[in-house]
Structure 1
Amino acid sequence: MAAPMNVGHIVTLSPKKNPITDDFRPHERSGHCCVADNSFLYSIGGIFYDPLEIMLMEEGDNYNPVFNEIWCYNISLNLWSKVSMRGHSPYLTASMSSLLSGNMIITFGGSGFPFGAESDNRVHTFNVRTHTWKTLPCTGEKPHAKYGQAMVLVHNHYLYVYGGCRRVPSGAFLFDSDLHRVSLQSLVWEKMRDPTKEKLKKNTTRSAMRKQAAFSDKDGEDVENDDEDEAGGNDDDGGGDNNDDDIGDDEEEEKDMYPLAAGSYRHHIVNDEERLYIIGGGTLWREVYPLDIIHSFSYATSTWEILHSHGDPDHPDGFPSPRKYHTCVQKDNDVFITGGHNGYEVFDDIWKLTLPDLQWTRLAVTLPNTLFFHAAAMTPAGCMYVFGGVCNIENNMRTAGLHRIWLYIPSLQETCWHNILHFIPQIGSMSQEQLLALGIPRMFIDRLHWDKSVLE
């Protein structure tokens, strides 16, 4: 029996046993990705580990808690299936980025275990029709290998990647604020540089060179220094200190002019026709970014800007609490975020942000439980699915729960299809000929049937 289509209400789904594979659902996980069309929800990668098991590990133990797999949820039949994959699949799938474009799942980045010991900077595609992986032969100014970044497809041409985390040779974690894009036609990467920032850096370099030259000249025995005042006078120590202080001021000014210069991790990117918007994120465990101000990048000018959003006048908080590890989905100019945490508190709330006026609205409904490191996807028809994640910050307990909420009134077509599923529960076992004889359009029949050879 199909679950109710109550708009604005969360439904916790109970998938049926798959008659072909005997699967009920994927294993509990976090750090995975989800994408969806109107027929299927796909879950890519992720991780599950037992902290106690890690503590008991001995040197040389081969332990890999990262999932190198894709699961497919048939929305019409309420069935999960693990997909048999062809080609060379990415194995660094924890905190990777993914999106669905036509029949292609596109992924970037990701980490293995231990986190950051190995990361990825390649673009991979997975054809949901042929179930084949391919690595794109990209060139140009590639991003660093990293994980926890965000990605978005702009004008169906450029893939933009922002931020993320990587481990440097010293063992420290480095968060970056780099923005790159790659053309899916030429497959050439380029780093997006803010002209304002570049001009500031050039002026800073020139100023430092002038002061260093003046500082060096006054140490010479026979050289007359016309720039002693600019360099800090005749006191050697004073000249050096002034030089350092001035450069520091320039760097602080540069940081102010370039949003999120400290880097960002586990944030999201959304977009409209003119801009990218960074939603949430943070760096260290308890460092999170607010959501009342939003950092935005203009395609036309390649410049960053800090924008102020508008709070919900009907909610006492007005704005979502600062957070990372949340989910973020978009349909047209509506953006929805769920869950996440700020280092102290895990959230179960759902908020909508309307672009481009940046108006926040708190939804009356909440997730069934608090969640972070979960994944969500929006169907073109306007239904959001939320899968997996960590539901308890104290014991790091993960879940395989699957939830659904219609955020828009379904079309008449979708409503009719839902009723057919409700009144013909055996529809999944019927042949295409039988379904066509009933007058069911082929576009809906295709939601029921798939090539059984691609299922494990």
Structure 2
Amino acid sequence: MHEEYLYVIGGYHPDSSILKDIWRLNTKSNAWETCHVTNLLPSTMASFSLSQYLSYHMLLFGGTSFPFGHNQSNELYSLFKRDGYFNLVLEKASGDIPPPCYGSAFISAGDTHYLVGGTTGREYNSHIWKLEKKNSWHWTKLTNETTHLLPKGRYKHEAFIKETLIFIFGGGSTVDAEPLDKLPVFDTASKNFITISTSPDSKYGFPLPRKCFGAVQHEESVYIIGGCSHDDQKMANVLNDLWRIDLATFQWTKLEVVLPVGVFFHSASITPDGWIYIFGGNCDGQSKVRTNIVQRFSIYST
């Protein structure tokens, strides 16, 4: 999201496989238009990770092509806008370069970026890598198999940073989803995990375990949007609920509003004035029906 525009980058559609384009939605006129890109986006634009740290400047990492999990990437790209065009640059990186993976969380804290978890399609991890630019981009792995309270490996989770703490929400594998009553939290100062117990909504309790959901942060609150949990190994339970957690008190609140169309594998973004936009996603439990609709709600009307 930038100014009045919502940007959609890459993705997957079964009719055309991996999508290697950029679109933007004018949130004032509700009109879509394609964006000019100086060179082709990579073929691994499904479940890649994005970290935005400047206006019109973001980092892209990893992702998979189709069939999912057969061709993963650990390449790092800069994507930035200049003179009306998006420019994609393959960056050279050194250090503890993460393995090829997809479904990771990628977050920024000023000039420092953190990559959290992900999957090769067969193995899942919950490791943390730090990315910094000095003379060039440099990766540092902050965890290993002996790290205190290292959580279960996962993908399609979300992560947010507050001061030195990285909060990890949900995620899972192809056959399970992680709960949200207790959150794994990584302390970038001590380089250890802690577990934080959250407080349930007084009426609805805790949100269901989930993965492939949307999440945005506004001030001290994180909003969890839709996603899916698993009733069995063949059918996903598609969710349309919306939740807020206060990062100061760790209190969950279920919002009264629900998504008109329950989705998972969607994207979400928030405007400065508190409008949350949700784009696309799967809307059936067998992942056969996808949508390109835009749903939105105001955090001030919930």
* TM-score normalised according to structure 1 size: 0.61
Name the CA distance, whole Å, in 1 between partners of 2:248 and 2:172: 23
Instruction: Please state if 1:135 is matched with 2:90.
Output: yes
Map Cα deviations across residues 283-306 of structure 1 (whole Å, 9 max, x no partner). 232x11110000001122111011
| Alpha-carbon shift at residue 88 of structure 1 (Å) | 4.7
Q: Which has the higher strand share?
A: 2
Instruction: Please state if 1:148 is matched with 2:103.
Output: yes
Partner of residue 139, structure 2: 189
Partner of residue 204, structure 1: none
Match of 2:258 among 366, 389, 414: 366
Quick one: structure 1 residues 128 and 380, their matched pair in 2 at CA, closer, same or farther if it must change by over 3 Å? farther
Partner of residue 293, structure 1: 182
Name the CA distance, whole Å, in 1 between partners of 2:6 and 2:127: 30
What amino acid is the match of 2:132?
A: S
| Alpha-carbon shift at residue 175 of structure 1 (Å) | 0.7
| Alpha-carbon shift at residue 396 of structure 1 (Å) | 1.8
Partner of residue 68, structure 1: 20
Match of 1:264 among 154, 159, 169: 154
**What SS class does the counterpart of residue 146 from structure 2 fall into?**
helix
Partner of residue 8, structure 2: 43
Name the CA distance, whole Å, in 1 between partners of 2:217 and 2:52: 12
Quick one: structure 1 residues 395 and 294, their matched pair in 2 at CA, closer, same or farther if it must change by over 3 Å? closer
| Alpha-carbon shift at residue 282 of structure 1 (Å) | 0.8
Instruction: Please state if 1:165 is matched with 2:119.
Output: yes
What amino acid is the match of 1:98?
A: L
Map Cα deviations across residues 398-449 of structure 1 (whole Å, 9 max, x no partner). 001101212148xxxxxxxxxxxxxxxxxxxxxxxxxxxxxxxxxxxxxxxx
Name the CA distance, whole Å, in 1 between partners of 2:141 and 2:287: 40
Name the CA distance, whole Å, in 1 between partners of 2:270 and 2:29: 18
Map Cα deviations across residues 161-206 of structure 1 (whole Å, 9 max, x no partner). 1111104xxxxx1111221010034411000037x936xxxxxxxx
Partner of residue 432, structure 1: none
Name the CA distance, whole Å, in 1 between partners of 2:4 and 2:58: 14
Structure 1 residue ranges, 4+ long, deviating more than 2 angstroms after superposition: 87-91
| Alpha-carbon shift at residue 395 of structure 1 (Å) | 5.9
| Alpha-carbon shift at residue 89 of structure 1 (Å) | 2.3
Q: Do 1:89 and 1:134's aligned partners in 2 also have CA atoms closer than 8 Å?
A: no
Quick one: structure 1 residues 341 and 395, their matched pair in 2 at CA, closer, same or farther if it must change by over 3 Å? closer
- Pairwise mapping of residues 324-339 of structure 1 onto structure 2 (< 5 A)? 324-339=211-226
Map Cα deviations across residues 53-102 of structure 1 (whole Å, 9 max, x no partner). xxxxxxxxxxx601011111112222111112113522211011113322
Q: Do 2:104 and 2:116's aligned partners in 1 also have CA atoms closer than 8 Å?
A: yes
What amino acid is the match of 2:187?
A: S
Partner of residue 206, structure 2: 319
What amino acid is the match of 1:76?
A: K
Q: Which structure 1 segments of 5+ residues have no match?
A: 1-35, 51-63, 168-172, 199-256, 410-456
Quick one: structure 1 residues 88 and 136, their matched pair in 2 at CA, closer, same or farther if it must change by over 3 Å? farther
Match of 2:73 among 103, 108, 120: 120
**What SS class does the counterpart of residue 143 from structure 1 fall into?**
coil
Instruction: Please state if 1:407 is matched with 2:268.
Output: no
Map Cα deviations across residues 358-401 of structure 1 (whole Å, 9 max, x no partner). 11111100000211111111122321100000111146200011
Partner of residue 247, structure 1: none
Q: Which structure 2 segments of 5+ residues have no match?
A: 232-236
What amino acid is the match of 1:328?
A: A
Q: Do 2:52 and 2:108's aligned partners in 1 also have CA atoms closer than 8 Å?
A: no
Name the CA distance, whole Å, in 1 between partners of 2:211 and 2:287: 19
Partner of residue 429, structure 1: none
* TM-score normalised according to structure 2 size: 0.91
Question: Larger C-alpha radius of gyration, 1 or 2?
Answer: 1
What amino acid is the match of 1:291?
A: L
Count matched residues. 292
Q: Which has the higher helix share?
A: 1
Instruction: Please state if 1:105 is matched with 2:58.
Output: yes
Name the CA distance, whole Å, in 1 between partners of 2:56 and 2:219: 20
Partner of residue 234, structure 2: none
Quick one: structure 1 residues 88 and 47, their matched pair in 2 at CA, closer, same or farther if it must change by over 3 Å? closer
Partner of residue 128, structure 2: 179
